[in-house]
């Protein structure tokens, strides 16, 4: 089995998972169709740019792109959950896994596999809001019952 060809086919044909390939300093070398669909960037508009352009300003100030790169270069892999920017500027909550690999020529690459967690994050927020609302209702009911029973 020729692994580079298999990987290239996975990269080209994967539509529901976003995959980025960048060099050890973060310059994007390739993206798959799944990334293009999820984030709105064309291959041509993003190749050659640093992957830090995808991070929101708050995470850039916290040096998150550098931390991700440093960890993957030090340990061979890293995981992160944070927002990435869609081309239109909207934020998408994602889980990212970076893996450091070397090609047949010994050249290093970082493969970042991205899963969109935005729907789950929105649902989590709604559940928290509902829980808070339920707690308020229960407290209000308890107060009413206490007041009514003492009147």
pLDDT level of residue 145 (50, 70, 90 thresholds): confident
CA 96 to chain centre: 5
Around Cβ 23, how many Cβ atoms within 10 Å?
A: 15
Q: How many CA atoms lie within 13 A of 56 on its CB side?
A: 14
In the predicted model, what is the mean pLDDT of the chain? 88
Which of the two residues, 46 and 134, has the higher pLDDT score? 46
Please tell me the predicted confidence (pLDDT) of residue 129.
Answer: 80
8 Å CB contact between 39 and 18: yes
Is residue 125 pLDDT above 90, yes or no? no
Is residue 3 pLDDT above 70, yes or no? no
Q: Which two structure tokens, joined as six digits, stand for 80?
A: 């992160």
Q: What is the pTM of this model?
A: 0.76
The mean per-residue pLDDT over the stretch 119-140 comes to 78
Please tell me the predicted confidence (pLDDT) of residue 151.
Answer: 63
The mean per-residue pLDDT over the stretch 90-100 comes to 95
Determine the Cα–Cα distance for residues 73 and 76; give it in Å rounded to an integer. Answer: 6
CA torsion sign for 6, 11, 15, 17 is positive
26-35, 80-89, 90-99, 130-139: the lowest-pLDDT one = 130-139
Tell me the per-residue pLDDT of 37-84, one tens digit each, with 9 for 90 and over. Answer: 999 999 999 999 999 999 999 999 999 999 999 999 999 999 999 999
Q: How many CA atoms lie within 13 A of 140 on its CB side?
A: 6
Tell me the per-residue pLDDT of 22-34, one tens digit each, with 9 for 90 and over. Answer: 999 999 999 999 9
Distances (CA, A) of 51 to 19, 58, 100, 133: 12, 15, 15, 40
């Amino acid at each position: 089995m020729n692994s580079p060809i298999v990987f290239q086919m996975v990269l080209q044909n994967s539509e529901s998972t976003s995959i980025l390939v960048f060099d050890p300093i973060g310059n994007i070398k390739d993206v798959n169709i799944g990334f293009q669909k999820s984030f709105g960037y064309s291959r041509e508009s993003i190749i050659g740019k640093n992957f830090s352009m995808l991070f929101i300003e708050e995470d850039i100030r916290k040096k998150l792109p550098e931390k991700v790169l440093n960890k993957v270069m030090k340990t061979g892999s890293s995981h992160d959950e944070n927002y990435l920017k869609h081309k239109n500027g909207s934020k998408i909550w994602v889980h990212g896994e970076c893996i450091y690999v070397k090609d047949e020529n010994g050249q290093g690459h970082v493969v970042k596999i991205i899963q969109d967690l935005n729907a789950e994050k929105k649902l989590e927020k709604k559940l928290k809001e509902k829980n808070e609302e339920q707690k308020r209702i229960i407290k209000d009911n308890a107060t009413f019952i206490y007041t009514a029973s003492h009147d």
